[in-house]
């Protein structure tokens, strides 16, 4: 059974889409079948892989509305082992259209269920909001990957995200774990970045991914060419960092299914709120905006 990872942070512009595209492409380049699902009406993951806007195309909107199957929405991409379920801006309407619908939080999970055997990784790119679209992604997911910028206000709003994750665990998806927190657009040379990194390490502990993503112009250019960075410029620091991140996540998953040691005990072994408590515990002790 594949692993479903939602890339989420309600803060805008922190690198969710860049992470979703390049992580998914890196999984595919590591020769595992991977599906990227664009869950954001902005459709940046869709255009970032070179698909022009097309209101006629079957998209994540149709999945949420129950108007099409995930199979019908699948698009092949330039990478042999990467598939995409695109989004369209009409997805914004799903928030309202589903407001009274039964099981509205389970739509994405149910739609993706038939595909879970086929893909080793399913990566969901979320919008910058804790709305019904993100909720659907978090209910469908096994774990959430949180991209964050190492900036002064990095932790602002993160407790809201962690609270949401906790509520989802209690009510809708008890097995939702935290894949990790990944630092994006990092300029390690600055004192501020070093300081924020140390604080995030203190706050998130082992959940802070070892791999960090540097600020890299190739990552910003690649989507305008409709390509993942590893296709656009495989030797760029940006492409390399996402290849490392994919490796880190694959290795962690392999360790999880192998013999259990204290090191390999991660999200799956924690029940319910344990992970959030574990990572949220130091929150009271530090200035969350620092
Ligand atoms: P939104 O909240 O609007 O969905 P997002 O969290 O998905 O935004 P991105 O779209 O991935 O964020 O990134 C925001 C901007 O920063 C984009 O222009 C992207 O190209 C650029 N960017 C992201 N990561 C990097 C990086 N490591 N180096 C340079 N530019 C980056
Ligand atoms: Mg985005």
30-48 pLDDT, tens digit per residue, is: 999 999 999 999 999 999 9
75-88 pLDDT, tens digit per residue, is: 999 999 999 999 99
Phi/psi at 121 (5° precision): -135, 135
Q: Whole-angstrom Cα distance, residue 51 to residue 30?
A: 23
What CATH architecture does domain 3-285 belong to? 3-Layer(aba) Sandwich (3.40)
Q: Is the pLDDT of residue 253 over 50?
A: yes
Reported as half-sphere exposure (CB side, CA atoms, 13 A), residue 20 has a value of 37
pLDDT for res 159: 86
Residue ranges covered by each domain of the chain = 3-285
Output the CA 194–ligand 1 centroid distance in Å.
21
43 lines ligand 1 (CB under 6 A): no
**How far, in Å, are 1, 35, 116, 148, 185 from residue 120 at the CA level?**
7, 8, 8, 25, 27
Output the CA 165–ligand 1 centroid distance in Å.
23
Output the CA 18–ligand 1 centroid distance in Å.
6
Give the residue-averaged pLDDT of 134-139. 98
* CA angle (16, 21, 22) in 5-degree steps: 100
Q: How confident is the model at residue 175 (pLDDT cuts 50, 70, 90)?
A: very high
Among 9, 14, 17, 238, which is best to mutate for testing ligand 1, by the most ligand atoms less than 8 A from CB? 17
């Amino acid at each position: 059974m594949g692993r479903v990872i939602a890339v989420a942070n309600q803060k805008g512009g922190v690198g969710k889409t860049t992470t979703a595209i390049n992580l998914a492409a890196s999984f595919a380049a590591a020769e595992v079948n991977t599906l990227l699902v664009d869950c954001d009406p902005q459709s940046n993951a869709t255009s970032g892989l070179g698909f022009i806007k097309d209101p006629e195309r079957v998209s994540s909107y149709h999945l949420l509305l129950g108007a099409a199957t995930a199979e019908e929405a699948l698009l092949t991409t330039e990478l042999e082992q990467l598939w995409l379920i695109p989004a369209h801006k009409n997805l914004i309407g799903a928030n309202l259209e589903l407001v009274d619908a039964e099981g509205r939080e389970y739509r994405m999970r149910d739609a993706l269920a038939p595909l879970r055997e086929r893909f080793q990784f399913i990566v969901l790119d979320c919008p910058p909001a804790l709305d019904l679209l993100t909720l659907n992604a978090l209910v469908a997911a096994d774990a959430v990957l949180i991209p964050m910028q190492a900036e002064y206000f990095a932790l602002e709003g993160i407790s809201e995200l962690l609270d949401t994750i906790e509520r989802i665990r209690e009510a809708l998806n008890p097995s939702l774990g935290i894949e990790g927190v990944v630092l994006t657009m990092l300029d390690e040379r600055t004192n501020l970045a070093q300081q924020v990194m140390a604080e995030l390490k203190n706050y998130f502990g082992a959940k802070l991914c070892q791999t960090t993503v540097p600020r890299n112009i190739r990552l910003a250019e690649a989507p305008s060419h409709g390509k993942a960075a590893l296709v656009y410029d495989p030797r760029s620091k940006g492409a390399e960092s996402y290849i490392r991140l994919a490796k880190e996540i694959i290795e962690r998953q392999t360790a999880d299914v192998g013999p259990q040691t204290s090191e390999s005990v991660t999200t799956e072994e924690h029940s319910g709120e344990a992970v959030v408590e574990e990572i949220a515990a130091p929150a009271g002790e530090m200035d969350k905006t620092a």
